[in-house]
Structure 1
Amino acid sequence: MSHETQDDAAPSAITDATLVPEQWPVHAGLIGSILLMASPLLLAFVMSTQTVPEVYDITNIGAGSDGLANYLEVLTTYEMASYMLNSLVMSVVVTVGKIAVSLLAAVALVFYRFRFKNAIFFLILFTLMVPVPVRIVPLYELMAAWGWSNTLLALTGPYLASATAVFLLRQHFLSIPDSLVESAKLDGVGPLRFLWDVLIPMSRGMISGLGVITFIYAWNQYLWPLIVISDQNKQVVQVGMKYLQSVGNAGQTDWGLIMAGAVLTLLPPLVALIAFRGPLLETFGLAE
């Protein structure tokens, strides 16, 4: 009888705890903060459904009469679908290539002994101090000398090396027990097999988090593609958004089309963040 009384009392205690009046301001503040941070995205979505007169009517804050017409026009007439495909190919190639190069570099820095290893590692870190504008002119001259201008190689090649990814993977590999490494050597496991069968499975969270960060970073590139790509049909989505800014009638910018393009541009990074939020939080040490 006493057990039933305790069991019956437990749910009511939990229910009462969740309805404490003192907590209502906290929840209201959190909900208000979320809505405030999401308001630019919500406003962009609403404007993406409006016509030009509706956008310039400040009293109109509801969904517009165009519906999804702006999205269809952006994807077809203004070739946003082609720009998004180019950005997707670039982002995937950069993500896979950067992770592969960084893995090999981190393995060499942790598990191999060679002269000037520490000096090479500090030289890699030193590249983080070089601003991007300083590197653009030499990179462009290098791409032109190799004949890579206006190609996918020019878009992806300069992004395959990453000091940040090498540093994070190196620090992660340093936490792997030495006994595991010695056991692999005694079993005759080669370097590539050790990397594939041991290091990568043990670093799945770190690799996934770096992959998400790299994908979003590559997707948002604007300056380098604008410089190195001359054909408009080969451009990426961020440069495509620049082309949309010139669209308008009678001197009025068509913000409906621009907002539709912005929402479409936001979707792939948002999907990546939602799908890999766990590994991303683990990478920054914020996972529960």
Structure 2
Amino acid sequence: MVEHRPLRDFVAYAILIFGVFIVAFPVYLALIASTHDAATVVTGNMPLSPGGHTLENYYRAIFVGGSRASREPVGHMLMNSFISATGIAVGKIFISILSAFAVVYFRFPFRKTAFWIIFITLMLPVEVRIYPTYKVVADLHMLDTYAGLILPLIASATGTLLFRQFFMTVPDELLEASKIDGAGPFRFFKDTLLPLSVTTIAALFVIQFIYGWNQYLWPLLITTQDSMQTIVTGIKKMLTTTDELAEWQLAMATAILAMLPPVAVVVFMQRLFVRGLVETEK
């Protein structure tokens, strides 16, 4: 029987509502700002009700772009971010699942050492390897390319750890049964492990898609053309002005549009995402 304590429940819900307000109110302000003109936004007395420039602002953001620091339409920047985030997520899953499969199911010298070396890279700050990575990408002529945006970021110690923990929960009897049936390592991986790993793959895809979508420093370094900039760097450029007034209404409209794809991925894959994290913990 669950004991109800009105005061404790009230405090818990009050804290929850306050937390939701703290998170949601800036998003609401951005949404409202995206419906007003630039002059209204910068006055400091912007009303908290929608304005009358919604269609104009979103049409300019999606199809026209800004008239100052960033002229690239949001639609093209969204496509760049989607290609980059999807490529990073798929690449990380592909490499991580194969490396975890090798670490768990193959017996070779220094197997555990190899895993711990992979794991230790989690503690390596991005700033430590950012210059050598940039130098390699530049020497390979991959600046301002999708390959340059994606390939340096597809190695994932987190993904390897996640798949390793899941593979260690798979009963050894399945491996023995596959050997009795004459299945080799690849067939065991394809016919047994992959179907069992669907929820883990979904969980990692959500995590890595959001990771790739929110990248700022790396795209900022390797993209010099407006046609290759991602949505995150595009928003920053919209607000980077000299003597001209920043187009805050377009920046806020772009920010709202930038939230939609990650939210859609999380909502669409929510059940698989939760199941994947829970099953990995078993």
Fold equivalence (TM over 0.5): yes
Change (3 A) 1:182 1:84: same
Separation in structure 1 between the aligned mates of residue 232 and residue 8 of structure 2, nearest angstrom: 46
CA contact (8 A) 1:83 1:237 kept: yes
Separation in structure 2 between the aligned mates of residue 71 and residue 120 of structure 1, nearest angstrom: 50
Match of 2:70 in 1: none
TM-score with structure 1 setting the length:
0.85
* Mapping for residues 191-206 of structure 1, pairs under 5 Å: 191-206=185-200
Separation in structure 1 between the aligned mates of residue 125 and residue 221 of structure 2, nearest angstrom: 17
Q: 1:42 is matched with which residue: 6, 22, 28?
A: 28
Q: 2:230 is matched with which residue: 236, 240, 255?
A: 236
Larger radius of gyration: 1
Between 210-219 and 92-101, report the one with greater CA deviation.
Answer: 92-101
Output the aligned Cα RMSD.
2.4
Q: Percent identity?
A: 35
Q: What SS is found at the alignment partner of 1:70?
A: helix
Post-superposition offset of 1:178: 0.5
CA contact (8 A) 2:199 2:275 kept: yes
Separation in structure 2 between the aligned mates of residue 238 and residue 164 of structure 1, nearest angstrom: 23
* Mapping for residues 90-105 of structure 1, pairs under 5 Å: 90-105=84-99
Match of 1:7 in 2: none
Post-superposition offset of 1:232: 1.5
Separation in structure 2 between the aligned mates of residue 273 and residue 202 of structure 1, nearest angstrom: 21
Separation in structure 2 between the aligned mates of residue 195 and residue 281 of structure 1, nearest angstrom: 23
CA contact (8 A) 2:238 2:246 kept: no
* Mapping for residues 56-135 of structure 1, pairs under 5 Å: 56-58=43-45, 60-78=47-65, 79-135=73-129
Match of 2:270 in 1: 277
Q: What SS is found at the alignment partner of 2:93?
A: helix
Letter of the aligned partner of 1:139 in structure 2?
Answer: T
Between 258-267 and 23-32, report the one with greater CA deviation.
Answer: 23-32
Between 227-236 and 33-42, report the one with greater CA deviation.
Answer: 33-42
Letter of the aligned partner of 1:170 in structure 2?
Answer: R
Separation in structure 1 between the aligned mates of residue 221 and residue 7 of structure 2, nearest angstrom: 58
Structure 1 unpaired stretches of 5+:
1-17
Separation in structure 2 between the aligned mates of residue 193 and residue 76 of structure 1, nearest angstrom: 48
Post-superposition offset of 1:238: 0.9
Q: 1:52 is matched with which residue: 27, 38, 41?
A: 38
CA contact (8 A) 1:247 1:254 kept: no
Separation in structure 1 between the aligned mates of residue 116 and residue 18 of structure 2, nearest angstrom: 45
Structure 2 unpaired stretches of 5+:
66-72
Separation in structure 2 between the aligned mates of residue 41 and residue 148 of structure 1, nearest angstrom: 36
Post-superposition offset of 1:85: 0.3
Post-superposition offset of 1:148: 2.0
TM-score with structure 2 setting the length:
0.87
Change (3 A) 1:160 1:29: closer
Count residues in correspondence. 269
